[in-house]
Amino acid sequence: MKILALLLSLSILVVTHELGHLGFAKLFHTRVRRFYMFFNWKFSILKAKKFDGKWHFLFFNAETPASWQEENLREEDKDNTLWGIGWIPLGGYCDIAGMIDETKSAEDLASEPQPWEYRSKPAWQRLCIITGGVLVNFISALVIYACIFAHWGSDELPLRNAKLGYEYHQILLDEGFQNGDIVYAVDGKEMYDFGELQQTLLLDNPKEVTVLRGDSLVDLSLSGDLLDRVSAEQPKQIMSVRAPFVVKDFIAGSVAKTAGLLPGDSVVGVNGKPMAAFSEISAELTASAGDSVTVAFYRGAAYDSVTMLLPADGKMGVQLVSELGDLFEVNHIDYTVWQAIPAGISHGWKTMVTYVSSLKILFSKNGAQNLGGFGTLGSLFPKSWDWFQFWNITAFLALILAFMNVIPIPGLDGGHIMFTLWEMVTRRKPSDKFLTYAQNVGMIVLLALLVLANGNDLWRAIRGMF
């Protein structure tokens, strides 16, 4: 399911990105010879092109027929794009006539420039064409966020409404945190938002944190090396909400159901030990695997207990209530369509700023280890299909794609943008030969980063097996 979600999300992002290039190219009467979703090394799953007044299709084809070639088409059909679907789901491309990119080199542009080619257009038009993909990705993210707010509204759990506190990674436990603490302030600034707190802890190098522990406020002095430790150890998360153990349903053969538990029961202890959080209860059950245990619970306001024989895996066979709104007091906001638009724009911009700020971790001592490839992207999606999560993650990936593509590396849109801006400022256009060399160097850098990122994923998977 994660693979399916990732492929669908990337397909949407690639197509919209390349459509941004195509849209501006068509606007400025620049030919787009091929438009592909996925790469088509050796053969294509589908090719489609309109000429002679009708659409023509080819399936699982390697060579494009001569009758489809531009030189053999009628003049009115030469502007028509060949649409295709490749078989390597790692991206896609928009083959713009007269542009040096991954699909062609300077040798392909040896002929005299034609008025319908990219290289013949004014610099400002070329800048629009090359930034079209980034622009569409960014706008797509804002539109998706607006649609999410309009359809689902928003649920926010204020930091202090997690009444059981939080579970902390060993990195924070070593700093003096204790599971169950609720952060009240960082360096004197009061904290209310979970995401802002994590960003502040990692990126702002705070010196002091105030937490609520039991009924008392406790000040913790931090070492200042949180970012380096997170960079080195790469935890999935440094803190998480401590959730209660509330039964939602049962699986087949559930010992809890046989013992008499019902949906809605809240487990609060095992073998006479009072416990509030799921993590504590789960650990105690695992430690008692195969033994008979007494489980204490509340049913409404009534306290009771049952005895059951746990199976070898220590599982009671229950499904838990996981929706934060059913466990804690959350702030839910419903939006009209007109309210959702500015809310989506604001949320998208804040998300982009937070993401860019988080890239600071890449420049820490172990920063390169934090690069992730397709495995990391796939891990963002839930194991079961969830449309809210799918669109939320897709919008986030759209922002990442937009930002990554403006990095001035030849081979990315940012490289083309850099050279075009240079031309606009200096009035000197880089030669096709120079652009070809720069493109080749950029592709080598990108391939190296791709290998490194996916190599990190592979190493994490191997390390997780031992």
**Token couple for 453:** 């990122």
Residue 103 has pLDDT above 80, yes or no: no
> How high is the mean pLDDT of the chain?
87
Quickly list H helices, 69-225: 123-152, 170-173, 194-203
Cα dist. 251→123, 220, 294, 319 in Å? 64, 43, 20, 7
Confidence grade of residue 398 (pLDDT, cut at 50, 70, 90): very high
Would you state the pLDDT for residue 22? 94
pTM tops 0.75:
yes
- Which phi-psi region, left, alpha or beta, contains residue 253 (left: φ > 0; alpha: ψ -120 to 50)? left
Q: What is the CATH number of domain 156-243+322-333?
A: 2.30.42
Boundaries of CATH 2.30.42.10 in the chain?
245-316
Architecture of domain 245-316: Roll (2.30)
Residue 362 has pLDDT above 70, yes or no: no
Quick check: 208 and 221 in contact, CB under 8 A? yes
Closest-CA residue to 440 (of 108, 95, 104): 104
Residue 183 has pLDDT above 90, yes or no: yes
Mean pLDDT of 451-460: 73
The model's pLDDT over 235-291, given as tens digits with 9 standing for 90+, comes to 878 899 999 999 999 999 899 999 999 999 999 999 999 998 999 999 999 999 999
Helices (H) and strands (E) in the chain, counts: 13, 19
Closest-CA residue to 354 (of 310, 313, 400): 400
Would you state the pLDDT for residue 367? 59
The CA distance from 300 to 266, in Å, is 8
Residue 212 has pLDDT above 90, yes or no: yes
The values of phi and psi at residue 195, to 5°, are -65, -40
The CA distance from 19 to 13, in Å, is 10
